Structure 1
């Protein structure tokens, strides 16, 4: 078989996959920068995360005449408030536990989102999804049971973050066909900044070696959001879902390189169980959707 025939038979990598890999890398860098700023008050970090994105989004919205207020301000405000709680509790826990553990436990967010959508939006949850939920929670139990670096307060903070992240998913699902995605993001950034300013008395000036993270945390968060949005416009969710968990791989690598975080076999098994549960949840949802 000639080389030209091989090229014809090979499929190029989807743009959606490339974009999702860029997005997950950006989010992983953002999380590592947030952990690098552990000496700051968590709400100051929340402010920096939001401000770094706001300064790019807001002028663009004005230029393109995208609605700032939106047509559903109460729901937009609710989405922003639950998002702030999720982000703040994540950053607080991130200062206390390894980066990879924090990211993996927060992946329970889609599970909470599916349960909340089942309860409030009457969305169907397939048997495979319920099994995936059990596997993921088993992974959390294994991580907590065998990683002594994770105390109960930190675990509670991460589960709170994941729960409110699930609420974010449900509210975004409701708003997705009613508001421009930048309107949703901009609301969130403004509320993050306002809440962060309420704790300004606890802020401090960044140290010299903290300035790259201070500047970069919002930029990489924005890059992640943009490429994530574009990725889902090019490819289906079921195709992109497995690549979304590359964020955890990046987090484990960065945690090891920059923070000296290693994992024993059993805690790593717990992380793997969470990822397996999340992937099964996606495929269970896709199968559920295709059968209706």
Structure 2
């Protein structure tokens, strides 16, 4: 094991994904979410194929043992991606990032429901605390307690939460898939299926992106592919419990990019809610490490 290298790779993956989201947000004013999913997936394919070829895993990446499991993974994961991208058009980048942290909390719940994992009082308490943090972040967007209620922001918050819920379901499904399927196959076929599924949104109003928008979207796809490679690679050098907390470094990058690029100033309430969610997430990671739960292969196949 080389934990420092694993942490470095995880941070590179986090940076790739947050910059990818920033590029998608920049294009989201004119480009519908289904089209952004297509660009994110299609232009990640050559990066992933090149990586598999370089690792001599091309045949492994193309081979499947349970085809329908990949279909379900594609449907759930594409829904998660599309909802998350749609939410970027309505909410600030740091807020989308904070609400996205609900995914590992919901994964604990769904793992208990569908995989019959034992979820003790400590993890349940942490999940409850984290969900309180989600409500703290969410409250200004879905209530009129502050005197205003904007429908677009409420829709954006709901979309991001649906995306987090779908992502949690996908993660639970992946935990089942890794018993039969290679990580490379899960990554490749998800990218393929999300590319194909995104084409079904053409009737809902695709547009011809302008020059800058096209570059942003292509860049998002390439960064998504590079980020996926580093995410998968980091688990070869360090345990999941070591690198998982560095997911939350994305908030630092989101705050910086949101302020500098989009002139987004986070509210104190959003920061408090995000801190509660992060604290709950880190506690769950430490608890899972104590319990010896194995998540590395499932995490490596996850597509943020």
Q: How does 1:142-157 map to 2 (within 5 A)?
A: 142-146=136-140, 151-157=153-159
**Conserved? CA contact 2:105–2:131, under 8 Å:** no
Q: How does 1:41-190 map to 2 (within 5 A)?
A: 41-58=32-49, 61=52, 64-146=58-140, 151-190=153-192
Question: How many residue pairs end up in the alignment?
Answer: 279
- Aligned CA-pair RMSD: 2.0
Give distance in 2, aligned partners of 1:79 and 1:200.
Answer: 21
Which residue of the partner structure matches residue 245 of structure 1? 248
Q: TM-score, normalised by structure 2?
A: 0.86
Which residue of the partner structure matches residue 192 of structure 1? 194
Give distance in 2, aligned partners of 1:76 and 1:68.
Answer: 12
Give distance in 1, aligned partners of 2:168 and 2:180.
Answer: 19
Q: Partner of 1:14: helix, strand, or coil?
A: helix
**Conserved? CA contact 1:107–1:162, under 8 Å:** yes
Give distance in 1, aligned partners of 2:165 and 2:3.
Answer: 34
Give distance in 2, aligned partners of 1:251 and 1:199.
Answer: 28
2:207 counterpart of 1:204: yes
**Shift, 1:264, TM fit:** 2.0
After TM superposition, where is structure 1 displaced by more than 6 Å over at least 4 residues in a row? none
Which residue of the partner structure matches residue 232 of structure 1? 235
Q: Partner of 2:266: helix, strand, or coil?
A: coil
Larger C-alpha radius of gyration, 1 or 2? 1
Stretches of structure 2 that go unaligned for 5 or more consecutive residues are 142-148, 294-304
**Conserved? CA contact 2:3–2:238, under 8 Å:** no
**Shift, 1:142, TM fit:** 1.1
Which residue of the partner structure matches residue 284 of structure 2? 281
Q: TM-score, normalised by structure 1?
A: 0.89
